[in-house]
Structure 1
Amino acid sequence: MSAHSRFNRVFPREASMKTRKSQVLTGLDVLVRDDLAPLRGRSIALLAHAASVDRDLRNILDIFLENGLRVVRVFGPEHGFWAVAQDMEPVGAHPAYAGIEFVSLYGTTEESLTPRPEHFEGVDLLVCDLLDVGSRYYTFVNSVVFAVEAAARAGVESLVLDRPNPLGGVHIEGPLLEPGYGSFVGLVPVPVRHGLTLAELVCFAFVHRGGNPVNLPGIVPCEGWKRALWWDQTGLPWVPPSPNMPTLDTATVYPGACLIEGTTLSEGRGTTRPFELFGAPGIDGAKLAEAIGPVPGAILRPLLFKPTFQKHSGLVCGGVQIHVTDRAHFRSWNLMIHAISAILNLWPDRFGWRTDAYEFVREIPAFDLLAGSDRLRAGLEHGVDPAELIAEQTFPAELWREMSEPFRLYE
């Protein structure tokens, strides 16, 4: 039974449409339209964050409280409920709403990523609403998976409010995660850019990890969304889901640009354009752009920048900014393979692989966790031609569609 059909069985929806067909509704919008009927009389634990808003930019927690729903506990993912913490920064207590316990699902240990049994005391429904950005590394999907699994063990039902994939659901990028490289930045074998919505990917991961299909979460699907639609074609407002994901432009380059996190290069954190620009002290941006060559769907602009925190904080870095001109043909994964290869060839003394612990893992290099194996790093170190690496590191789109088809809710 699909997650969609299970939702319709447990929480039947009204058949009438009260909005224009061209208007995309998130799962939260659908619930609001239907007067939150499936939630009334329930004792709720809520997993949400600052981007969990309706079309009128009202946060889900405020909506629930204003409508008299009983919210027992609120879980916050990485970056916290208000999305103020930086990456890998442990999140402590949240600003409290009177009478509501806030629990961080991103602390100082790997165990903190999963709700404990006592977190479901007095709860009969877990509601999850997080904005994913369409890349395997982004941790919010994994927070939902861990929470749904914990709820199932506690005998508590789960309900996922779906949101569109900001990058659409047509194109994929990168390889599958390989066995032995699972972490909080990649739980199950999916491509880097996977083309699934939050609910679709949660159900895929839940089943792949051995979850009983009987315990699949209920889903409130989006309405009006087609896989060809990018976020800015939905009419929905963009709220940054994390401090370094300020715009859709950031999400567009993220599938490849996040690889820079696994190196000593700056990925632009500490600037106003994280992930859109990258470099390091001593790098000549013009030479780098020339070495990379033409980029389908984008222009690389040489520049200097000075991060205000994290890598190379306070130092002037040379590099490039990615200006996407045709996102239908732009592939950030391919670009970053070319870019890292060029920097290794031209400035080997300015480049290194990140060696500190990354997302609670010490024994596997951060770059390998992000890439999904050690194959890409080994190829780059041995000077393999970028075109050959791209061919090797791209999972066939038709095979991925076949693998994920049972979990797809949208055309």
Structure 2
Amino acid sequence: MERRRFLVGTVAAGALGAAAATAAGAPVAAEPGVRRVKTGLDVLVGSGFVALAGQKVGVVSNPTGVDAEYRHLVDLMHGSGRVEVVAAFGPEHGFRGSAQAGGSEGTGTDARTGIVVYDAYGASQAKWGELITKSGAETLVFDIQDVGARFYTYIWTMYDSMVAAARLGKRYVVLDRPNPIGGRAYGPMMTAGYTSGVGKKEIVQQHGMTVGELARFFNAEFLPVEAGRSADLQVIACEHWKRDKFAADTDVPWVMPSPNMPTPDSALVYPGTCMFEAVSSITEGRGTTRPFELIGGLAGDFDHHWGDRLNARNLPGVEFREAYFTPTAAGQKPQLLNKLCAGVEVKVVDRERYDPIRVGVAMLVEARKYAAFAWRADNWIDKLTGSSRLREMIDAGADVDDVVGAWTGELADFDGRRGSYLLYG
């Protein structure tokens, strides 16, 4: 299948990154000589792996760590003869991506390269320290495609491994990738009493940063306290990308970061509709062809009125289609597995105007009106949104503007704090 190519403008950016310059929107095919977007991995390969020469390298990656030709980072390094790869570390879903949500592949030997792969999913910072020491790595390299939401666990894999590397005095290199849902920040702040594996530090729900920018933010804001010092960090930045661009505006290969993130469309809605993980009576469409875009509960408990009421709100950038589907993956809701569900399909019609978290709140507000609506007993919504505020406000009958307005100040504060760590304009 031929990938769509779009003009994203020209930049002046080196291996460590610089601000993007101008941007346009015409197809690359119609613009001779336009340079495509390069990820940090593409830049590293183009340099002949110079940033890693002469070091023993441990790689934190998964199937998304590929170059423009879909060749994996570890395979490229191993085959180059220029980098000594001593280990790989597999996050949630595993290094080669064979495990479902909440799973990993275990520790073993990679069949393709013979390199030892350590199971690092859920590893504490202390465990990370043990794994790094056991591997003999002098430098850790992180290359995973994030999707831009605080509760997508790969950024916390990066954080914990950075803390461990800093404590051990190891070098840490991030091969940056574009944020597929752009560079705008939305949503509530994580608060200290609600941290977990889906949100370990104080950032907002849709952070609007690349993993490289997040690494810079973490390194300055959090590591000096948690690790006692900052990491020896290098970010190899993308070239020819600007933060107002979405995945569909670039030619960067899309490889599923997880089994229920099949397309950039899934990522676009995820920061909002993932909140339905916390509703026991509603599925977020796992096991369908449109996870996180198809949202519904048992037919009969939920119906077409949900979509009608949402469309009547005229939310910017989105429309809702009445939808019926049968989820074939349970997640935390086995009671909905292989059952006919009724609800909506979220159709983003204008990415520039679409606020996924406001939309997610509107969907929760309207769903709360059904008698069958029930939060998960563990109040998982509090961990996803960073406090009990959203749940308590919706339960009390607050409408969308009130809920969203409650985090305006903390979002503005975060937007200001992150500014000095941004690399792309």
**Alignment TM-score, normalising by the size of structure 2:** 0.85
Query: CA separation in 2, counterparts of 1:190 and 1:231?
Result: 22
- 145, 149, 152: which one pairs with 1:135? 149
Deviates more, 1:273-282 or 1:208-217: 208-217
User: 1:102-160: CA deviations, max 9, x gaps?
Assistant: 111115xx638941335334221111111111111111111011111111222211111
Query: CA separation in 1, counterparts of 2:319 and 2:97?
Result: 31
1:23 has 2:36 as partner = yes
Change (3 A) 1:140 1:395: farther
Match of 2:394 in 1: 380
Query: CA separation in 1, counterparts of 2:158 and 2:186?
Result: 23
Match of 1:13 in 2: none
Deviation at 1:261, TM superposition (A): 0.6
Structure 2 portions without partners, runs of 5+: 1-12, 18-31
Query: CA separation in 2, counterparts of 1:344 and 1:398?
Result: 28
- SS state of the match for residue 206, structure 2? coil
Which AA in structure 2 matches 1:31? L
- 354, 363, 367: which one pairs with 1:339? 363
Match of 2:75 in 1: 62
Match of 1:257 in 2: 273
Match of 2:22 in 1: none
Query: CA separation in 1, counterparts of 2:125 and 2:169?
Result: 20
1:207 has 2:220 as partner = yes
Task: Note the 1:6-405 alignment, pairs <5 A.
Answer: 22-68=35-81, 69-93=83-107, 96-97=110-111, 98-106=113-121, 111=124, 114-121=127-134, 122-169=136-183, 171-211=184-224, 214-264=230-280, 265-281=282-298, 282-292=300-310, 293=312, 294-310=314-330, 311=333, 312-345=336-369, 347-348=370-371, 350-356=372-378, 365-395=379-409, 398-405=412-419
Match of 2:29 in 1: none
Query: CA separation in 1, counterparts of 2:306 and 2:391?
Result: 19
Contact 1:258 1:267 in 2 (8 A): yes
Which AA in structure 1 matches 2:231? N
Match of 1:14 in 2: none
Q: How many residues align?
A: 385
Change (3 A) 1:395 1:187: farther
Contact 2:129 2:165 in 1 (8 A): no
Change (3 A) 1:378 1:118: closer
Contact 2:90 2:104 in 1 (8 A): no
Structure 1 portions without partners, runs of 5+: 10-18, 357-364
**Alignment TM-score, normalising by the size of structure 1:** 0.88
Contact 2:98 2:105 in 1 (8 A): no
Deviation at 1:397, TM superposition (A): 5.7
Query: CA separation in 2, counterparts of 1:240 and 1:394?
Result: 32
